[in-house]
Every structure is written in structure tokens, then in C-alpha cells.
Structure 1
Amino acid sequence: MILLQVQQVTRRFGAETLFSEVNLDIPEHGRVALVGRNGAGKSTLLKIINAEETPDEGEVTTKRGLTIGYQAQDTGLNSDKTVWNEMLSVFDRLRVMEGRIHDLEAEMSQPEIIADSERYEQILTTYDQLQHDFAAQNGFGYQAEIRSVLHGFGFDDHFYDQPINTLSGGQKTQLALAKLLLERPDLLILDEPTNHLDVETLTWLEGYLQNYSGALLIVSHDRYFLDHVANEIYDLSHGTLDHYKGNYSAFMDEKAAKLRREWKEYDKQQAKISQLEDFVNKNIVRASTTKRAQSRRKQLEKMDRIEKPDGEDKVARFRFSPTRQSGNNVLDVQEVGVGYDQTLLSYPINFTVKKRQAIAIVGPNGVGKSTLLKSILGMVPLLRGRVLFGTGVDTGYYDQEQATLHPKKTVLDELWDDHPTTPEGDIRSILGSFLFTGDDVQKPVHNLSGGEKARLLLTKLSMQHDNFLLLDEPTNHLDIDSREVLENALNEFDGTLLFISHDRYFINQVATAVIEISPDGSTPYLGNYDYYVDKKEEQAELAAQAEADNEQPDSASAASSSSQQTYQQTKDLQRAKRKLGREVDALETQLTDLEAQRTDLETQMAQPAIYNDPQKSLAMQTQLTEISHQIEVTEEEWTTKSLALEDFA
């Protein structure tokens, strides 16, 4: 069943057409991602879908009664209530129902009601129906659900009584999303929901959305997130919208293949056109061949010409090239403690960076990752330990806060002041490769967008020709295409990298090692992000196994030792079990929702206004049959997977 359709929608701003005649379908339980460059019109299209803006042409149609939840980019929750009370307000209807149940319980305990059997039976019938409805709508579990969602976003018990208007902007944004998830609309529309989330929260959100009972429409620059959540991609590019099945990686492969096919067809037609034009030019004036030449000219005139494929808009082009090579030992961090005002955020941190390594630093927000980079560079004092650089090391730093830019300077002066002997033409050429062209170079820095400032910082960094780059969240504010350009530039960089990132796809593409920072110090992992996640899972399972072993009697120690030795051979099986368990849980949630829909329909059909109207009754019966079929199919899938899960035991 289709929940929402965008049909032939066009949006203009003045004389400029942002996009034209776009079509988009969101099916029931759909997992749809909308991708495209900054400025392509993604957020505008979301606002049209949410009826916040009106299209110039076309329309958006929805299933009757569809509930839509929409969170715009970086939109925070403004409320005078405490965190708990604001989340609790989502369930006001349930709480009223709960109060009514308690009132009926009190009423049924009164002697005069008990003595009146007819009145008692009426109250009992109402009570039983309320109890059924209350249970079906998770009345006995909604407080646990609130705690689960708040915990997923990092809000522990001590946040519950805090007024929301005293929290930071980032916390308000996360609470707005938390409330939206608790509301469980039929269609959840999220514009950049992963902004400012640490890796732990991102992982939790992925799992939650994978099991979400409704449909999803998501705009995100987080490619790892899209790979794990979306199974349909709509690509908004050049004012048109193209549809692809599969996750983000599948979309990229198919889009590249499509572009290759388009070029092949274009080149084939161009060769044909050239052949025909050559024949016409050579034979049009010759009496013996003029008729054939005229025939080919008509063929050319009637030909439906294929437009030249334009795979992408302009992309930044840059590279990082060190002036000289460093020694093999680039950096040694020994027993370091980082923090502010003698408050340790993390200790002890130990790691070594070798030449041409690309090391990613990961860890929760607030643990001191950015402080570590600044401490290594001497911008913030070390609280403990020492940092040693190798020979010939030239450091370059990318600041995620963009504080190294001068807000009153122009783009041109920001670069030229650092390199006054470089001719203006060369400076403009370099800026052009980072997409600053024409009058763009005269823009004051304070007027630039976050993405433009990011590109300007990267421009400055490329001009320094350092051999050791320390980067703090370099992909923030960059669209997907710019991130891919940066990845290519860093992979081709003949130097050493130490970087912080929450972009797991970026880490996978660039990192050769990962260092996890926690309050208790550092833990190194050789490999990219996926390797780091696998090793973390192994360590957690080994720790759980060790804890179980400690609780076993001595007679079981030999068996325990044998079990631990075979762990490596069974880890894939255990991962498959966890995945299957998540699928079973998701099917259970889906069954609960479907059964609630069936109960609601049956209740409506029992009303005289419905069963006395043959047309309405037939429509509802058709809907009931469809839902019953979905329940049957889902139950069958649940049974199959539950039995498979039992086989793991």
C-alpha cells in the first residue's frame, strides 16, 4: 500500500526552477532516503511533502488518516517542562485511559455497585474493554519506552527533572527527535537526523529505525547510516529525481553503471551523427549522390538526439602534497591526560603514529577528543604525560569550529594574506578548484555557509604542504560529493593522518587504524571502522564469557576453557543469532501493530453507522481482509525465524 505520492511536482524561485516534475512514492513500511547536493532542493521537497510549502505545479496525495512526523534540520524542542514531563505528554491519552481504569476499579469496589448486578456488569464490560485497549496500546510499558528512548540519546535519570529550556541546543535537537520517535507517526520524515550525534547514539538510532513500525523518509549525508537504514534511494540532481532500489552503496554502483550506459549510447549516436554529416558534406553537391545525401540530411533532422551525459555538477578538485618527507616516527603520545582546569577527561592515553598511517580517533562526545588534538599541537596544556614529534614533521590542523578563519576578511584575502608572494591569478585558480569562482572570492568570511567555510579551510590546508595532518571532524558541513572528493585526496596524500570523525563511512574509506578514547584512556585497533566494531563485539562477548566462567564451579572449568578456545570459530554464528533475534523482535512489533489495526477496524465495523452503510462496510471489510492476510504472512515469517533462532540454542 502506498502511504504518500509526490506527483509531477515543480518548485520555482523567481525565474529559477529548483526541480521539475518530480515523482516519489512512499510505501507502507518504506525505508526511503532522499540524497543530493547542498542546494539541490531536498529540504524544500520535504517541506512540500509536509504541506509547509506549496508546489508551483503538481500535488502530494496521502492515504486517508495518515499521520506524519517531521523534524527539520537542527530543530530543537522548546519547552518549559522537564525532560520527563515533556516525553510523558506524548502519552496523555493513555494516561487519561489509565485514570479512567483506576476510577472504574474504585467504583466496582463500592458495596452499592456490587449489590446492583446489572450496573456492576455494565461497569465490568467497560473496564474489560478499557483494559484491552490500554494493553494493546502499550499502556503497561510506555514509561519503560520513554526511558529506553531517552537512554538511547544519552539522557540518564539525572536529566529527567531538568527543564528543557536550560539544556544546550544540541540536547534540545535530540529531545525533539526523541519525542517524535515516541509519537510513532505512520510516516517519519527526518532532515539530517544524524547531525551532532556521537557514534554510540548513531548506532542506537540505526537499530531503532530499522525496527520502526511505520515508514521512513530521510535526508542524510551520513552514508554509513543510509547503508544500514534505507532500502530505496531518490537522487535529486539537476532538477530531476531518479529512483534506485537498494541501500546507498547499491545506489552508487547503479548510478555509476547508468552513467556509463548513457555515455556509451551518447558516444554511439555521436559516431553515427558524424558519419551521416560526413556523407552529407561530401555528397550533397554531387549529382549522382545528392538524393542519398538529402535522405541522410532528413535522417539527421529527424533524429532524437541524446543529450550529453552530465553525471555531476561541478565538484571541488584538490590534493594535499607535502613539501618534504618526515621521519618514520611521526608522533609518540606517552601517558597523556587531557582536560581543562585540572579536570581530567581522559587518562592515560598512549599511542604511536608512524609515517603514512591514517589513524582515526573515536569515542563519545565530551571525552576530550578535540582537546587531545589541541594538546598535541600545544594549543591546550597537557594535564599529564608528554608528546614527542619525530624528525622533519610539519603539522597542519583542521579546526571543526572554524575558529582559525577571520570573519571580516574576504575569501581571497583569507588565502592571499597567508601567501602574499603568490600572484593573485594563482590564488584565484586555487580557490576555483575549491569552487570559489567569480564574485565568490570577494565574499566576507562571515557570510559563508558552513560548507563554504569548510572548503575554505581545506583550501588553506592544501596550500601549506604539510606532511602530518591533524583533522577535527573534516566532513562536518560537507555534502556527500565533497566528502568523497576529500576521501580521494586523503587516500592519495603521501603523508600521515590523525583525525577525529563521527562519519563511519569516511573512517572506513580512509583509516588504517582506530584509537578509541574513553575516560580510562586509549585502546588501539588495527583496521578500519568495521574492523573496530567487530573487535569490540568480540571483546564484549569474551568479557561476558569470562564473567560466566567465574560464576561456574571448578568442575566446569575444563569445559569453559574448551568453549573459549572454540570462540573464534563460532563468532560468525553468534553474530547471525543476534541479527536473527533483532529480526524476530521487529516482526513481533509489526504483529502487535497489525493486530491493533485489526482490533480497531473490527470495533469500527461493529458501529451501526458502518454496518448499515454497505459501501463503507465493504471498504472496511476489504481493508480487514488485507490486514488479516498481512498478519498471516508476518506470523508465518515470525514462526520460521523463531524456530531458526531456537536452533541456535
Structure 2
Amino acid sequence: MILLQSYNISKYFGAKQILNEVNVTIQDHEKIGLVGVNGAGKSTLLKILTGQLTPDAGELMRSGNLTLGYLAQDSGLESGRTIYEEMLSLFQPLIELEQQLRKLEELMGDSQVKSNETEFHRVLNQYDRLSETFREQGGYSYHSLIRGVLQGLDFPEVDDHSPISVLSGGQKTRLALAKNLLQKPDLLILDEPTNYLDIHSLAWLEQYLQTYSGAVLVVSHDRYFLDKVVTKIIELEFGRATTYPTNYSGFIDLKNQQQESLSKQFEQQQTEIAKAKDFIQRNMVRASTTKRAQSRLKALEKMELIEGPAAKQKQVFFTFDIKLKSGNDVLQVSDLAVGYSGVALAKKINFLIERGESVALLGPNGIGKSTLLKTIVGELPSLEGYLRKGTNVSIGYYAQQQEKLNPQKTVLDELWDDYRLMDERDVRTILGNFLFRGEDVYKKVGDLSGGEKARLSLAKLMLQKANLLILDEPTNHLDILSREILESSLVDYPGTILFVSHDRYFLNKMATRVIELSPAGTESFLGNYDYYQEKKAERNSQTTEKKELAKTQLGKQSYLESKEQQRLERKRLKRIEELEQLISATEEKITQITADLEKPEVAQNYTSCLELSSELSEKKFALDNYLEEWVSLTEE
């Protein structure tokens, strides 16, 4: 079933056309990735599809009763409530239904209602009906659903006393994502949902969206994420949309094949046209060949011309180089503790980085990765231990928030002030390579987008020619094409790299070693991200085996204790089996009593109706107790 469809959507901002006759179709249950360079119009299209913008031309059609959830880029949730209260507000109808059930239970226990056969029967029927509705709508699971989503998005300890107002911007964005997921709309539209998620949260979100019952349209620059989640790609390029029935990696292959095929067809046709024109020019004036030339001219005029391959999108272009080669030992860290105001975020940090390595620093959000990088570059003092730079080591630092940029300067001055000996033409050429062209160089830094600030920071970093690059989330705010160019530049870089990133595609391509930062300190893994994951999984498996072995050895050492545990386990399993039989028998009895109560002869007999209703209440009470005990025993 088609949930949403756009037909020939066009949109202008001033004289500039952003979207040109864009056609998009979203079917029920589809998982779609919307890709394109920064400025291609992705967010504009999403706002049109969600009704926040009106197209200048074209039509938008939605299925009846379509429910739609929309997470705008970096849109934080603002509320005066606590985290849990805000999530709970999504289930207000269920909460009200639960309150109605409690009131009905009170009425059913009221002596006056019990003594009135007609009223008691009415209350009982209403209770049964509402109970079934409550169960079908998830009344018994919405609390655990809230907890699961919040924990998956890195809100591990949430209670009624956690106010939203004190959260950071990134946390508020994650909370807005959580609210959208809990609403479970027919169509979920997400603009850069992976911002502010660490690797563990990303993996959780991937799994959640893979099994999501509705349709998903997502904009993301995370290629690993797109490969895992989507089965269809819509590319926006030069204002037009092209659909590919595959994930991101498949889309790249398909597009390259199509471009190559189109290029060959175009070249062949151009060769044919050139030959035809040459024949016509040589033979049109000769009486003996005029008719043949005219026939060839008519055929040329009727020829259906093949459009040449589209011009390439503007691309950033840069390479990293070094002024001076460093010594073999680039950076040594021993028993280091880092943090703020004397409070350590991470301790027992030990590692040695050698020349030519590309080392990824991994760890959960809040563990102190960025703090460690700031300590290495000298922006923060260390709390314990020491770090030592090697011979001739010069550091180039890329900050995650681009806080080293001056928001009051123009783009041109921000770069030129650090390199006054450069000619203005050379500075402009470099800025042009990073897509700052014409009047763009006079923009204020404070007015730049996240992607533009990232490109400007990379331009400054490139000119440093440092032999040790310290990079904190270098792919943030970069579109996919810019990320690929950054990867290619860093692969050819002759120096040493230490970086933090949650872009797993980037991690796989760049890392030659992974250092994991945890509360216990640091641990090194030789290889890229996939190898690190394999070793972690292998280690977890070995840990499980060791635990099983330890249990066996413990059993040998404490035979009597083991026998007692076995006896208790047999008793537990036997009780579970008994409970399952009791639950089944009680449910059958409840069904039978409910059917008896609906019989006309019983309904007209006050005494029988009262006895059956009382028995029904007793059976339901017993069933609840059986189920509660069964859940407790099975969880053990």
C-alpha cells in the first residue's frame, strides 16, 4: 500500500531552484535512505513531505489516516517535564483506560453493586471489554517499552526526577528521537538521527529500525548505518531524484555501472552524429549524392538524442602533508588520568603510538575520549601520570565543535590571519578547493553551517602540515562524498593519526589499531573496527566458557551446595510445570464461566449470576497470582 507519494514536486528559494520535478513513492514497511551532498535539498524535501513547507509546483498525496513522525536535524526536545513523564505522556489513553479499569474493579467489589444483578452484570461486561482493549493496545508492556528505548538511546538511569531542562543539546535530540520511536507512526521520517549517538546506541537503533513495523525514510551520512537499515536509496542530485532498489553499497555500484553505460552510449552516438554531419556536408552539394545526403539529414533530425552524463557535483579537494618527519615513537602515555576540576573521567591510560600508525580511540559516550585528546594537545592539564611527545612531533588538532574558529571573522580572514605570508590568490585557491568560492569567502564564520565550519577547519588543518593529526569526530557534518575524499586524503597521509569517530565505515577504512577506553583503563587491538568487534565477541565467548568452567570447578569443590542447588532447580522447574497447568486450567474455566454468564437462563437468575460472577472474580485473581509467580520463576 502506498503511504505517501509526491508527483513533480518543485521548490525555489528566491531565483535558485532546489527541487526540480521530484517524484517519491513510499510504500508500507519500506526502509528508504535519502542521500545527496550537503545543499542538495534533502531537508527541504523532508519538510515538504511532512507538510512544513509548501511546494511551488507538483502534488503531494497521502493515504487516509496516515500517522507520521518527523525528527528534524538537531531538533532537541524542550519540555518542563521529567524524561519519564514526557515519554509517559505518549500513552495517556492507556493510562486513562487503566484508571477506568481500577474504578470498575472497585465497583465490582461494592456491596450495593453486587446486590443489584443488572448493574453488576453491566459493570462486569464493561470490565471484560475494557480489559481486552487494554491488553490489545499494549497496556501491560508500555512501561518496559519506554525503559527499553531510553536505555537503547543511552539514558541508562532514568527516573521521575530527571528533568529535561538540564539535558545537553545532544541529549535533547536523542530524547526527541526516543519520543518518535515510541509513537510508532505508520511513516517515520528521520533527518540525521545518528547525530549524538555512540557506537552502541547506533547498533541498537539499527536493530530497532530493521524490525520496525512501519515505513522509514531516513537521511544519514553514516554509510554503515544505511547498509544495515535501508533496502532502497533515493538520491537527490541537481534537484532531481533517482531511486535505486538497494542499500547504500549497492547504490554506489549501480550508479557507477549506469554512469559508465550512459557515458559509452553517449560517446557512440556523438561519434555517429559527427560521421553523419561530415557525410551530409560532403555530399549535399553534389547532384549524384544529394538525395542520399538529404535522407541522412532526415534520419539525423529524427534521432533521439542521449543526454550526456550529468556534470559532477562540486567536490572538496585536499591532501594532507607534513613539513618534517617525526621520530619513531610519536606519543607515549603512562598511567594518565584526565578530567575536569580535579575530577577524573578516565584513569590508568597507557599506550604508545608509533610513526605511521592510524589509531582509533573508542569508548562509550562520557568516558573521556574528547577530554583525553584535549589533554594530549595541551588544552587541559593531566590529573595523574604523564604523556611524552617524541622527537620532532608537531600536532594538528581538529576539534569536534570547531571551537577554535572565531565566529566574528570572515572565512577569508579566518584562514589568512594564520598564514599572513601567503598570497591572497593562494588563500582563495585553497578556500575554493573547500567549496568557498566567490562571495562565500566574505561570510562570517558564525553564520556558517556545520558542514561549512567542518570544511574550514579541515582547510586550516591541511595548511599546518603537522606530522601528528589529532582528530575528534572529523566526519561530523560532512556529506558522504566529502567523507570519502577525507578518507582518501588521510590514507595517503605520511604522518601519524589518533582519532575519535563513531563513523564505523570511516573506522574500518582508517584504523590500523583500536584503543578501547573503559573505566578499567585502556586496551589495544591491532586491526580495524571489524577486527576489534570480532576479538571482543571472541573474548566474550571465552569469558562465558570460563564462567561455565568455574561453575563446574565450584561444583566439584562444594558438592553438597551443588546438590542443594540442583534440588532447588528441580523444584523450580516442577513448580513452573505445575503453574503452566494451573494457568491453562484456570483460563479454560474463565472462558467457560464467561460463556455461562452470557446464557439467557443464567442472566435472568440473580443467584446463579451472582455465584458465577463471584467465581469469575476469584479465578481471575488466582490467574493473576499464577502468572506473577510463573514470570518470577522463569526470570530466575
Indicate yes or no: 2:137 matched with 1:116. no
Partners of 1:269 and 1:165 in 2: how far apart? Answer: 64
Tell me the amino acid that sits aligned with residue 508 of structure 2: N
Partner of 2:442: 442
Task: Give the number of the structure whose alpha-carbon radius of gyration is greater.
Answer: 2
Residues 354, 496 of structure 1: 8 Å contact kept: yes
**Cα 1:287–1:426 shift into 2, 3 Å:** farther
Q: Cα gap change, 1:65/1:302 in structure 2, threshold over 3 Å: closer, same or farther?
A: same
Equivalent residues of 1:7, 1:22 under 8 A apart: yes
What is aligned with 1:383? 383
Which deviates more, 239-248 or 401-410?
A: 401-410
Give the corresponding residue for 1:250: 250
SS state of the match for residue 380, structure 1? coil
1:137 and 2:137 correspond: yes
Alignment of 1:295-374 (within 5 A): 295-310=295-310, 312-374=312-374
CA contact (8 A) 1:471 1:499 kept: yes
Offset of 1:556 from its aligned partner?
7.8
> Could you tell me how far 1:192 is from its partner in structure 2?
0.9
Q: Please give the secondary structure, in 2, of the residue aligned with 1:486.
A: helix
The equivalent of 2:168 in structure 1 is: 168
Asked if 1:533 is matched to 2:529, the reply is no
Change (3 A) 1:554 1:370: closer
Deviation at 1:148, TM superposition (A): 1.2
- For 1:309 and 1:282, the matched residues in 2 are separated by 31
Partner of 2:18: 18
Asked whether 1:409 is paired with 2:409, we answer yes
Q: Who is 1:103 aligned against?
A: 103
In 2, Cα distance between equivalents of 1:274 and 1:293: 14
Counterpart residue number, 1:194: 194
Q: Contact 1:396–1:464 at 8 Å: present in 2 too? A: yes
> Within the alignment, does 1:220 sit opposite 2:200 as a pair?
no
Q: What is the aligned partner in structure 2 of residue 70 from structure 1?
A: 70
SS of structure 2 residue aligned to 1:149: helix
In structure 2, the partner of 1:29 is 29
Deviation, 1:15, is 2.9
- SS of equivalent residue, structure 1 residue 157: coil
3-state secondary structure, aligned to 2:402: coil
Which residue does 2:617 correspond to in 1? none
4+ long deviations beyond 4 Å: 553-557
CA distance in 2 between counterparts of 1:328 and 1:293 reads: 74
* TM-score normalised over the length of structure 1: 0.82
Q: Tell me the distance in 1 between the aligned counterparts of 2:556 and 2:294.
A: 94
Q: Which residue in the other structure is 1:48 paired with?
A: 48
Tell me the residue number matched to 1:647.
none
The question of 1:456 aligning with 2:453 is answered: no
Could you report, residue by residue, the CA deviation over 1:123-171 in whole angstroms, capped at 9, with x for unpaired residues? 2222112111111111111111111111122223355312222322222
Query: Cα deviation per residue 1:483-525 (whole Å; 9 max; x = unaligned)?
Result: 1111111112122211111111111121111111122211212
Q: Distance in 1 between matches of 2:35 and 2:130?
A: 45
**Cα deviations by residue, 1:211-254 (Å, 9 ceiling, x for unpaired):** 21211111111111111111111111111111111211111111
Residue 97 of structure 1 deviates from its aligned partner by 0.9
Deviation at 1:553, TM superposition (A): 4.7
User: 1:404, CA displacement in angstroms?
Assistant: 2.0
Determine the C-alpha separation between the residues in 2 that align with 1:336 and 1:205. 34
- What code does the residue aligned with 2:246 have? G
Superposition map of 1:247-646 within 5 A: 247-310=247-310, 312-553=312-553
* AA of the residue aligned to 1:17: Q
What letter corresponds to residue 123 of structure 2 in structure 1?
A: I
Letter of the structure 2 residue corresponding to residue 417 of structure 1: D
Please give the alpha-carbon distance, in whole angstroms, between the structure 2 residues aligned to 1:527 and 1:220.
26
Task: Give 2:437's aligned amino acid.
Answer: T
Q: Note the alpha carbon deviations across 1:27-62, whole angstroms, 9 max, x for none.
A: 111111111121111111111111122222222222
> Per-residue deviation at 1:388?
2.2
Deviation at 1:87? 1.1
Amino acid at match of 2:199: V
Q: Secondary structure at the match of 1:17?
A: strand
Q: Which stretch of structure 1 is more off in the superposition, 109-118 or 447-456?
A: 109-118
Q: Quote how far apart the aligned CAs of 1:405 are.
A: 1.9
**Do the aligned residues in 1 keep the contact of 2:191 with 2:220 (CA within 8 Å)?**
yes
The alignment partner of 1:171 has SS state of helix
Residue type at the aligned position of 1:35:
V
Give yes or no for contact 2:83–2:158 (8 Å, CA) kept in 1: no
2:592 aligns to what?
A: none
- Name the structure 2 match of 1:639: none
Structure 2 SS opposite 1:120: helix
Moved more, 11-20 or 189-198: 11-20
8 Å CA contact 1:369, 1:500 repeated in 2:
yes
Hey, what's the Cα distance between the residues in 2 that align with 1:206 and 1:111?
54
CA distance in 2, matches of 1:113, 1:444: 75
Deviation at 1:418, TM superposition (A): 2.4
Q: In structure 2, how many angstroms separate the alpha carbons of the residues matched to 1:375 and 1:354?
A: 19
3-state SS of 1:552 partner: helix
Distance 1:256 1:357 in 2: 32
Amino acid at match of 1:322: I
Match of 2:575 in 1: none
Please say if residues 31 and 232 of structure 2, whose CA atoms lie closer than 8 Å, have aligned partners that are also in contact: yes
Deviation at 1:108, TM superposition (A): 1.4
CA deviations on 1:328-374 (whole Å, 9 max, x unpaired) are 32222222111112211111111221222111111122211112112
Contact 1:259/1:311 (8 A) holds in 2: no
Gaps of 5+ in 2: 558-636
User: How many angstroms does 1:477 deviate by?
Assistant: 1.4
- Residue identity matched to 1:407: P
SS state of the match for residue 351, structure 2? Answer: strand
Q: In structure 1, give the amino acid aligned to 2:387.
A: V
Which ranges in structure 1 are unaligned for 5 or more consecutive residues?
558-649
- Which amino acid in 1 is paired with 2:409? K
Deviation at 1:451, TM superposition (A): 1.2
Deviations 1:592-612 (A, max 9, x none): xxxxxxxxxxxxxxxxxxxxx
Contact 1:525 1:532 in 2 (8 A): yes
1:85 alignment partner in structure 2: 85
Cα displacement (A) at 1:475: 0.9
| Distance (Å, rounded) in 2 between the aligned partners of 1:468 and 1:436 | 26
Determine the structure 2 residue equivalent to 1:611: none
Counterpart contact for 1:367–1:517, Cα < 8 Å: yes
Q: Confirm whether residue 209 of structure 1 aligns to residue 233 of structure 2.
A: no
- For 2:119, the aligned partner's letter is R
The alignment status of 1:154 with 2:148, answered yes or no, reads: no
Report deviation, 1:403: 2.1
Aligned to 2:241: 241
The range that moved more, 25-34 or 307-316, is 307-316
Q: Secondary structure at the match of 1:517?
A: strand
Find the aligned partners of 1:377 and 1:515 in 2 and give their Cα distance.
Answer: 18
Letter in 2 for 1:438: G
TM-score normalised by structure 2 residue count: 0.84
Q: How far did 1:311 drift? A: 5.5
